[in-house]
Amino acid sequence: MKALVTGASGFIGSRLAAALVARGAEVRVLHRGGSRLEALEDLPVQRVVGDVLDAESVGRAVVGCDVVFHVAAISSYWRSTSAAVYQVNVGGTRNVLAACRAAGVGRIVYTSSVAAVGVPPDGTVATEEHPFDAFSAGWPYADSKRRAEDEVRRAVAGGQWAVIVNPAAVVGAGDRNLISGSMILELARRPLPAIPPGGLCLADVDAVVAGHLSAAEVGRSGERYILGGENLTHREMAAIVTRIAGRPLPRRTIPPQALGPFATVVDAYNRVSRRTPTLNGIQVRLSARHLYYDSEKAVRELDYRILPFAQAAEKAYAWYREHGFLA
């Protein structure tokens, strides 16, 4: 099997490329010229320099491939502009689908996000059928991933074989770009005064990678599959991480009513600051919500495994310590 992974210099993409190599696949990766490639340096993969926004380079990358895993996206949306998020996440997906159609690629697995499913009302757990909500429609990252899924569905309607996978907050060894790993680092580096009141669905990267592989093999074309894990409050998550790191568990919980005004302040600061944002108002507002998702469909159809968050956190902490992130 010959497989292409876009976004292979990132967290999920690099781990997926490694898993494909371990399975004996011939692996090709598409990466930008300026990408950091530490995650790929020991992998016997064919590298194609290009960009999902450059249709010509995408066309070169997909030729001869049996399956394409389209993982490339702007996930750290708080560090980017809304225009760039839409351009890469939607326009890049459109380019990959067009190139695969022209090259006759048999199978495509698109890496979306639970953000594209939407934010469930508190007290509920969202499935793949959850209606996309107004809050998420105003969140550029979530809306861009939803629109990218629409591109995939149109391609499927036109005869292409494609599956959508929706990872939750992904944790484990190798998150160099600190997408979800920043939560672990903040709790491990220093005692924190308080934690937010909401919660998250936390997925082990090894389970998520296995879910991608299963989706390519046994997934149903046109379907979406939530690749989640344990649904934990921020306090439950913090208790696990602080135990691993030997830090005290924050005693206080931030009052939900304080997060709205704080989000406004954060956004105002980001508008005038010349620094790359480390946080934005959407993240602050989301921290008050219980972002819980149900992976039962993936468990049933993809033989997806729900791995414990503690296991993923231990691997992430050990990796960060080994690579100097905790200094």
Per domain, the residue ranges of the chain are: 2-177+201-235+291-311
Confidence band, pLDDT 50/70/90 cuts, at residue 113: very high
Q: Are 181 and 221 in contact (CB under 8 A)?
A: no
At residue 203 the predicted structure's pLDDT band, cuts being 50, 70 and 90, is very high
Residue 317 clears pLDDT 80, i.e. is over it: yes
- Confidence at 177, pLDDT banded by 50, 70, 90: confident
141 is catalytic: yes
Q: For position 224, what pLDDT does the model report?
A: 98
Element (DSSP H or E) covering residue 182:
helix 181-189
Q: Report pLDDT for 9.
A: 87
Q: Report pLDDT digits (tens) over 27-76.
A: 999 988 777 777 788 889 999 999 999 999 999 999 999 999 999 999 88
User: What is the structure's pLDDT at 160?
Assistant: 97
pLDDT interval class at 326 (50, 70, 90): confident
3-state secondary structure 122-184: CCCCECCCCCCCHHHHCCHHHHHHHHHHHHHHHHHHCCCCEEEEEECEEECCCCCCCCCHHHH
Determine the average pLDDT of the residues in 129-149. Answer: 96
pLDDT recorded at residue 137: 94
Q: Could you tell me the pLDDT band of residue 191, with boundaries at 50, 70 and 90?
A: confident
Whether pLDDT at 275 is above 90: no
Cα within 13 Å of Cα(77), Cβ side: 21
Instruction: Spot the catalytic one: 86, 110, 141, 225.
Output: 141
Overall CATH class of domain 2-177+201-235+291-311: alpha beta
Q: Label residue 327 by pLDDT band (50, 70, 90).
A: confident
Burial class (CB in 10 A: 0-12, 13-18, 19+), 24: exposed
How much is the pLDDT for 79? 83
205 close to 174: Cβ distance less than 8 angstroms: yes
